[in-house]
Amino acid sequence: MAFFDTSLPADRRPLPGLGLRGLLDTPFDRRSRDIARRAADLRRLSDDELAELGLTRGDILRHVLLSRGS
């Protein structure tokens, strides 16, 4: 069973100077941050801008999770 803690911000960073992200980061961590970043970008758009992309607010997460890359 997996545990995903949503209480931490998606762009959390290790302490400056330690460089642990590169050492301990997994592909899942990078993908998770990419998904959160893309969803946040789309949520910032107006309803009209989303409509131009063929999306509604309810479609954002499905679109981000099912799309490959940006």
Measured distance CA(23)–CA(45) in Å, rounded: 34
C-alpha closest to that of 65 among 27, 46, 40, 39: 39
Distance CA 19, CA 17 (A): 6
pTM of the model: 0.62
Question: How would you write the pLDDT of the chain (70 residues) with one tens digit per residue?
Answer: 555 556 656 566 655 555 666 677 788 888 899 999 999 999 999 999 999 999 999 999 999 999 876 5
Give 43-60 as a DSSP string.
HHS-HHHHHHTT--GGGH
